[in-house]
Structure 1
């Protein structure tokens, strides 16, 4: 939010200093700042009762982790984890979110294991195993760093 406000203030001050500020131009600057806010605000990821959810400024998505059908990785500009459940729910997550919050990872891992045991999960176990190793490594490094043993 701070970036959007700072951008708006800088653009308005610049326009005002150049004596070109009008109501219409201020409206355009406010629109540009709002778009920046929407684009840069990360979704809030939460876990509850067998599911994971992500809420952005304009979107909300939810999947049941114990009913996952597929887990895929989208390799574009940034790595994204795509979770799909039996009811068609789809959640796109940044894996760094799971690395930063091991409790969310634990919740997802439990649900994935249940899906695999039930035979529902068709693809994605190798992806999750690699991600699990990465998260375990990060947690271990954090513990060693905080205890002064690194």
Structure 2
């Protein structure tokens, strides 16, 4: 990838901290498990491999998806797979609530991506790239379902941003 292409990417600015937290939790789990097993006098090579495997599994589960965006696209990478949609060719946008709210984006190429809306609120550059792509999809007439979802999400993100600015300036 060229240097200019790397600069035009918008990435989750909190991902590295979350990845470090996931690694720390997995390492602590491994260390404490091995220490307790060793102290009990039951540590064997097989049990050590079991604790290491469980620690790697805990890391994979705790590792958050990595979200990046660029002109006309949005990508989410997990330890298992990578999903990419064309934001300038979206067909549908749906938001599902509940305990773990998530946004589902579908493009004209049949690709589908799930995303936590909090990532968009925490990363204005990613939100900007997605918003531009959604407007292009609306202008082209491909976005058939979900323009209202994106409008509501945009208002919510703008409200949170205003509150954060007011709080940081001491006006609220």
Instruction: Flag whether TM exceeds 0.5 (same fold).
Output: yes
Taking the aligned partners of 1:107 and 1:47, their CA distance within structure 2 comes to 6
Residues 123-142 of structure 1: pairs in structure 2 closer than 5 A: 123-142=145-164
- Check the 8 A contact 1:38/1:57 in 2, yes or no: yes
Partner of 2:35, secondary structure, is helix
TM-score by structure 1 length? Answer: 0.95
Counterpart in the other structure of 2:110:
88
* Gapped regions of structure 1 (runs ≥ 5): none
Of structures 1 and 2, the one with the larger relative CO (CA 8 A, separation 6+) is: 2
1:44 to 56, 61, 66: 66
Size of the alignment, in residue pairs?
A: 150
Taking the aligned partners of 2:126 and 2:137, their CA distance within structure 1 comes to 17
- Check the 8 A contact 2:71/2:129 in 1, yes or no: no
Residues 2-81 of structure 1: pairs in structure 2 closer than 5 A: 2-81=24-103
- Check the 8 A contact 1:73/1:80 in 2, yes or no: yes
- Check the 8 A contact 1:84/1:91 in 2, yes or no: yes
Residues 111-130 of structure 1: pairs in structure 2 closer than 5 A: 111-130=133-152
CA drift at 1:76: 4.6
- Check the 8 A contact 1:69/1:122 in 2, yes or no: yes
* Gapped regions of structure 2 (runs ≥ 5): 1-22
Taking the aligned partners of 1:128 and 1:67, their CA distance within structure 2 comes to 15
CA shift digits 1:64-99 (9 cap, x unpaired): 100001111233530010111111221110000001
TM-score by structure 2 length? Answer: 0.83
Counterpart in the other structure of 1:148:
170
Partner of 1:72, secondary structure, is strand
Runs of 4+ in structure 1 over 2 Å off? 74-77
Taking the aligned partners of 2:124 and 2:59, their CA distance within structure 1 comes to 27
Taking the aligned partners of 2:24 and 2:81, their CA distance within structure 1 comes to 21
